[in-house]
A and B are shown apart, each in its own frame.
Chain A
Amino acid sequence: MSQSDHHDEHANEHPKLGFWQAYVFSTDHKVIGIQYGLTALVFLFFGFCLMMLMRWQLAYPGQALPIFGSLFSDATMPGGVMLPEFYNSLGAMHGTIMVFLGVVPLAVGAFGNFVVPLQIGAPDMAFPKLNMASYWSFFAGGVVMLYSFMAPGGAANSGWTSYPPLSDIATAGQTYWLIGMIFLITSSLLGSVNFIVTIIQLRVEGLTYMRMPFFVWAQLVTAFLLLLAFPPLEAAGVMQLMDRLADTSFFLPTGLVVTGDALQVSGGGSPLLWQHLFWFLAHPEVYVLILPAMGIVAEIIANNSRKPLFGYKSAVYSLIFLGFMSFIVWAHHMFLTGMGTTISAFFQTTTMIISIPSVVILTVFFISLWGGRIRFNTCMLFALGFLPMFGIGGLTGLPLGLSAADIPLHDTYYVIGHFHYVVAPGTLLALFAGIYYWFPKATGRIMNEFWGKVHFWGSIVCMNMIFFPMLIQGLAGVSRRLYDGGASYEFAEPVLHYNAAMSHAAWLLAVFQLPFIINFFYSIWKGKQVDRNPWQSTTMEWEAPSPPPHGNFDTPPVAYRGPYEYSVPGAEKDYTPQCEAAEV
C-alpha cells in the first residue's frame, strides 16, 4: 500500500551487484536468458557431436574412428570401433539433449526470457527468483544427463522415448535419465508459470492482447503447453523410477521372460501406459519446439519485409487452436500398438484437423511477403529458409498421420526425416535467425553479415543433404535406430549408399558452424556498434537501451498501436514504433 507507492521514486536505483549476483545467480531476466542461451548452445553442439559420432558408424559400420576414436573408453569404443550399446546410448542422448537441453531452452528459456519482458514493456519477469531457480534446475538436469555417460553401462540407451519394458530393465543410465528429466520438468514448470503470469500481468498500458507481438503470443501458448503437458510425463517418470528402484511393475505385464529367465515382478502393468503418458507430453512438445520458432520468424519477416504481418489475427487464433489441438493428437505416434478402428479414426481426424492451423500460419508468412520491400540480411535469410524447410517437415507429417499410410512408414527413417525437417532446418534455422536478430539488443553490437550468410547457405544446403535422403531410405523401409544403418538387410541395399553422403554432409555442417561460432564471440567484443534500434523495428524491445540495464526501460513505455505498423501510408518513416505517441 503506502509502502509500494514509494517504490517508483527509486525504481531505477541499483546497488552494484557482485560478480556472483550479477552473472551467475542473477535474477535479471536478460542475464538468465543469456545463461539459458549459452548453455543451450553448448548442449546443442554437444548433441550434434553425438550425432556426428553416430554418423561415422552409419557411414562406415564397424570401422575404427580415426584420430578421435582412441579418446573413448573400452566400454564404449574399443579400438575406436563403436559398440551397439554405445550407439544406442548416443541415439537416446542425442534426442534427449537436442530436444530438452538444446532447442527448448534456447527457444523458450533464452529467447522467451530475454525478449518477452522487453516486448511487453515489463521491467523483468513476474517472479525473478523463480526464474533463477528455473535456470539452475535446468542446469542441474543437464549435469545429471551428462554425468550419466559415466554410469556403469553408459548413459540411457532405450531411445529418447524410453519405452518400457526395455527401459525398465536397462542399465543404470536410465535412472540418471529419469532423475535428469525430473529436474528439467521442474525447470520448465517454474518457467512456464512465470511466462504466463508475466505476459498476462506485466503488459504495459495499452498493450492489449491483440497488440502483442506474434512472438509473445507464441511464447504464451508454448508456456501453456509446457505447463499442462509436462506433468503427465513427470508422473510417468516417477512410475518408471518406482519400477526401476522399488521393483514395482507399472509398465511390466505378467509373464515376462528376459533372456530365458522369468522376470521376478508382480506383473499386471501396461507398457502402453508409458506410451500414452509420454506422448501426451511429447506431442505438445513438438509444438513447444515449433511455436517459438514461428514467433521469431513472424517478427523477422514483418521487420524485413517492411510491412505488417498479413492476417495477424487469424495467425493468432490458429496458434491458440494449434496449442489446444496438440493435446488430443498424441496417439498418432501409437497407431501400430494394436489400435482398433474407432480410436484410430479419432486420432487420425484430430491429426488432420491440426494440420489446418499449421497451413494457415505458414500461408500467413508466405503471403506477408507479398507487397513488401524485402531486405535480405542474414536474419531474414534464416527466417526465409525456415519457411520451405518447415513446409517439407509439415507435409511429410501427412502420410504419418494417416494410419494406413503409416503402416509401412512407422519407425522408419521417414519418421526421422520428417521430424528433423521440422526441428533442425525448421526450428534451428529460426533460432539462428533470432540470434542474429536480437544480438544487437543483447550486446549493443551487430554480427558480421558476410560470415552470417556463409553460415546460412552452408547450413541449409548441408541440412538438406542430411535429411532428404532419410525420406528416401524411409520409403524403402529402412528401420530407425539401426546400429549398422540397415546393412544387415537386403531390402535396404538400394538406399544404403546414401549413408556415407549423409554423414559427409553432417561433418560439413559442423564446419559451417565455425563461422557462426567465431562470428558470435568476435562480435561480442569487436562487432560493429549500433544504436538501440538497428533494424528500424516497431516492437518495444527496441525502445530500451542496448544492452538494456537492470529494469530495462528508461521510463515505462505505453503501447499506442499494433506490433507491426510498417510503411504506414502517410507516415514520415517506414516504421511507426508501438510506443510512439499518436500525433493527435
Chain B
Amino acid sequence: MGDSVEDIKKHVRTYVMVFVVLLFLTGVTVGISYVDMGHTMNIVLALVIATIKASLVAAYFMHLISEKKLIYYTLLIAALFFIGLMFLPTGQSLDPIHL
C-alpha cells in the first residue's frame, strides 16, 4: 500500500466505491428476503450476500487484500477452528445412537 498523498486519494475513491456496493447489496438482501424462493434458497442467498459484503469490508476497509503473510496465517488458523467449532457440535446432534 502506497503512503503518498496521491496514493491515499486513490484509495479513498476505492473506499467510496466499496461503500456504494455495500449499500446496494444491503438493499438486495432486504429485497430478496421478501421474495419466496424456498426456505433453503433464501438462507443460502442471504448468507452468500452477507459473505460477499463481509469480504468487501475485510478486503478493502481492513486492507486485508494487501496485508502481511503473518496476519493471513493467524486468520487462517482462526478460520479453521471456527469451522470446526461451527459444524462438529451440530455433527453430534445429527449422528445420535441409532436404535
Partner of B95, one of A232, A272, A273, A340: A340
A232–B85 touching, CB < 8 Å: yes
Instruction: Give the 10 A-B residue pairs with the shortest CB-CB distance, closest first.
Output: A340-B95, A276-B89, A343-B95, A327-B81, A342-B95, A343-B92, A343-B91, A338-B97, A328-B84, A228-B81
Question: With A224-B77, A228-B77, A272-B89 as given contacts, are A327 and B84 in contact (CB-CB < 8 Å)?
Answer: yes
Nearest Cβ on chain B to A317's Cβ, whole angstroms:
15
Partner of B78, one of A228, A272, A277, A341: A228
B85–A272 touching, CB < 8 Å: no
CB-nearest residue of chain B relative to A270?
B93
Question: With A228-B77, A228-B78 as given contacts, are A280 and B95 in contact (CB-CB < 8 Å)?
Answer: no
CB-nearest residue of chain A relative to B92?
A343
A273–B96 touching, CB < 8 Å: no
Q: Is B88 an interface residue (CB 8 A)?
A: yes
Which residues of A have CB within 8 Å of B5?
Answer: none
Question: With A200-B70, A328-B88, A331-B88 as given contacts, are A272 and B81 in contact (CB-CB < 8 Å)?
Answer: no
Q: Is B98 an interface residue (CB 8 A)?
A: yes
Chain A interface (Cβ < 8 Å from any Cβ of B) = 200, 224, 228, 232, 270, 272-273, 276-277, 280, 324, 327-328, 331, 334, 337-343
B78–A276 touching, CB < 8 Å: no
Chain B interface (Cβ < 8 Å from any Cβ of A) = 70, 77-78, 81, 84-85, 88-89, 91-93, 95-98
B85–A340 touching, CB < 8 Å: no
B93–A339 touching, CB < 8 Å: no
Question: With A200-B70, A228-B78 as given contacts, are A339 and B85 in contact (CB-CB < 8 Å)?
Answer: no
A273–B84 touching, CB < 8 Å: no
Knowing that A272-B89, A343-B88 touch, tell me 16 more A-B residue pairs with CB under 8 angstroms: A200-B70, A228-B77, A272-B93, A273-B89, A276-B88, A276-B89, A327-B81, A327-B84, A328-B88, A331-B92, A334-B92, A337-B92, A338-B96, A339-B97, A342-B91, A343-B92
Question: CA–CA, A570 to B92, complex, Å?
Answer: 60
Which residues of A have CB within 8 Å of B70?
Answer: 200
Nearest Cβ on chain A to B98's Cβ, whole angstroms:
7
Which residues of B have CB within 8 Å of A334?
Answer: 92
Q: Which of A270, A280, A337, A343 has the most CB of B within 10 A?
A: A343
Question: CA–CA, A328 to B88, complex, Å?
Answer: 9
Question: With A224-B77, A273-B89, A276-B89 as given contacts, are A340 and B84 in contact (CB-CB < 8 Å)?
Answer: no
Which residues of B have CB within 8 Å of A327?
Answer: 81, 84
Q: Is the interface of B mostly helix, strand, loop or mixed?
A: helix
A-B pairs with beta carbons under 8 Å apart, 7 shown: A276-B88, A276-B89, A324-B77, A328-B81, A337-B92, A338-B96, A343-B92
Partner of B96, one of A224, A270, A328, A340: A340
Which residues of B have CB within 8 Å of A277?
Answer: 89
Question: CA–CA, A324 to B85, complex, Å?
Answer: 13
Nearest Cβ on chain A to B77's Cβ, whole angstroms:
7
Which residues of B have CB within 8 Å of A272?
Answer: 89, 92-93
B92–A339 touching, CB < 8 Å: yes
Which residues of A have CB within 8 Å of B95?
Answer: 339-343
Which residues of B have CB within 8 Å of A331?
Answer: 88, 92
Nearest Cβ on chain B to A222's Cβ, whole angstroms:
14
Question: CA–CA, A327 to B85, complex, Å?
Answer: 9
Nearest Cβ on chain A to B76's Cβ, whole angstroms:
11
Which residues of A have CB within 8 Å of B77?
Answer: 224, 228, 324
Nearest Cβ on chain B to A526's Cβ, whole angstroms:
47
Nearest Cβ on chain B to A350's Cβ, whole angstroms:
10
Q: Which of B70, B89, B96 has the most CB of A within 10 A?
A: B89
Nearest Cβ on chain A to B70's Cβ, whole angstroms:
7
CB-nearest residue of chain B relative to A323?
B77
Nearest Cβ on chain A to B96's Cβ, whole angstroms:
6
Nearest Cβ on chain A to B69's Cβ, whole angstroms:
12
A340–B97 touching, CB < 8 Å: yes
Which residues of B have CB within 8 Å of A273?
Answer: 89
Question: CA–CA, A571 to B75, complex, Å?
Answer: 44
Question: CA–CA, A471 to B70, complex, Å?
Answer: 45
Partner of A280, one of B78, B85, B91, B98: B85
Nearest Cβ on chain A to B93's Cβ, whole angstroms:
7
Nearest Cβ on chain B to A329's Cβ, whole angstroms:
10
Question: CA–CA, A331 to B93, complex, Å?
Answer: 12
Question: CA–CA, A273 to B78, complex, Å?
Answer: 20
Question: CA–CA, A340 to B96, complex, Å?
Answer: 5
Nearest Cβ on chain B to A251's Cβ, whole angstroms:
13
Nearest Cβ on chain A to B3's Cβ, whole angstroms:
12
Question: CA–CA, A280 to B89, complex, Å?
Answer: 10
Nearest Cβ on chain A to B86's Cβ, whole angstroms:
11
Question: CA–CA, A327 to B96, complex, Å?
Answer: 22
Nearest Cβ on chain B to A86's Cβ, whole angstroms:
34
Nearest Cβ on chain A to B4's Cβ, whole angstroms:
15
Which residues of A have CB within 8 Å of B91?
Answer: 342-343
Which residues of A have CB within 8 Å of B93?
Answer: 270, 272
Question: CA–CA, A232 to B85, complex, Å?
Answer: 9
Question: CA–CA, A200 to B88, complex, Å?
Answer: 32
CB-nearest residue of chain A relative to B78?
A228
Nearest Cβ on chain B to A5's Cβ, whole angstroms:
18
